[in-house]
């Protein structure tokens, strides 16, 4: 019986050891679960912070892009302003040029009148040169094909020697400032 008792005692010890191991394992598992939970929470927090950082970086980049666009637009506006700064003055001077041309078209019979017309012609030419230096250009019209962007048809006529749509006569000169039409040419167009 001793042997049986010894075997039973050994089995009991093994069972107790196994039970203790199981109990130990059971208590260790919650610690691992807690560690995993803490690690998961930290990973989630890191992900949230990373996403927030990416969103803020995106916002920052959009603000920088907006600032660059504002600078570029301001620069383009300034360039356009500089390019066309004389437009209003030139529009107001165009009738003066027309009056000069009408006055110079008069034939002078007396020497004094001829002298005065010569002086007016010199002033007219210097005014035209000053305006050209600022970008004023005459719009070519006579014998050109009618272009509604540059010409205003006020009359039509029929000339068999010329094609239809050709400008026969320029009634009033047209002008443009660089690429903008200040005043279209008033023309007579062939039918």
Tell me which H or E stretch contains 67: helix 2-83
Q: Which CATH number fits domain 84-190: 3.40.50.1370, 3.10.20.30, 1.10.520.10, 2.30.22.10?
A: 2.30.22.10
Q: What is the pLDDT of residue 13?
A: 58
What does residue 168 show for φ and ψ, rounded to 5 degrees?
-90, -35
pLDDT one-digit tens code per residue, 67-123? 999 999 999 999 888 877 888 888 999 999 999 999 999 888 899 989 999 999 999
Q: Is 154 helix (H, G, I), strand (E, B) or coil?
A: strand
What number is the average pLDDT over the span 32-59? 86
Tell me which H or E stretch contains 106: none
Q: Cβ distance 102 to 144 under 8 Å? A: no
> Given a cut of 70, is residue 54 above it in pLDDT?
yes
What does residue 170 show for φ and ψ, rounded to 5 degrees?
-100, 115
Q: Cβ distance 150 to 174 under 8 Å? A: yes
What are the boundaries of each domain within the chain? 1-83, 84-190
Q: Cβ distance 80 to 177 under 8 Å? A: no
Q: What is the pLDDT of residue 31?
A: 57
């Amino acid at each position: 019986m001793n042997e049986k008792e010894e075997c039973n005692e050994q089995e009991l010890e093994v069972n107790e050891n196994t039970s203790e191991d199981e109990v130990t394992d059971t208590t260790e598992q919650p610690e691992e679960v807690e560690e995993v939970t803490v690690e998961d929470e930290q990973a989630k927090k890191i992900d949230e912070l990373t996403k927030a950082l990416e969103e803020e970086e995106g916002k920052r980049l959009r603000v920088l892009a907006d600032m660059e666009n504002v600078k570029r637009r301001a620069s383009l506006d300034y360039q356009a302003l500089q390019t066309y700064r004389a437009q209003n003055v030139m529009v107001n001077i165009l009738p003066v040029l027309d009056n000069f041309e009408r006055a110079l078209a008069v034939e002078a019979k007396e020497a004094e009148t001829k002298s005065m017309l010569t002086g007016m012609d010199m002033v007219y030419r210097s005014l035209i040169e000053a305006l050209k230096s600022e970008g004023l250009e005459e719009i070519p019209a006579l014998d050109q094909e009618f272009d509604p962007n540059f010409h205003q048809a006020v009359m039509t006529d029929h000339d068999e020697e010329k094609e239809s749509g050709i400008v026969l006569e320029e009634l009033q000169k047209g002008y443009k400032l660089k690429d903008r039409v200040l005043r279209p040419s008033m023309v007579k167009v062939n039918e």
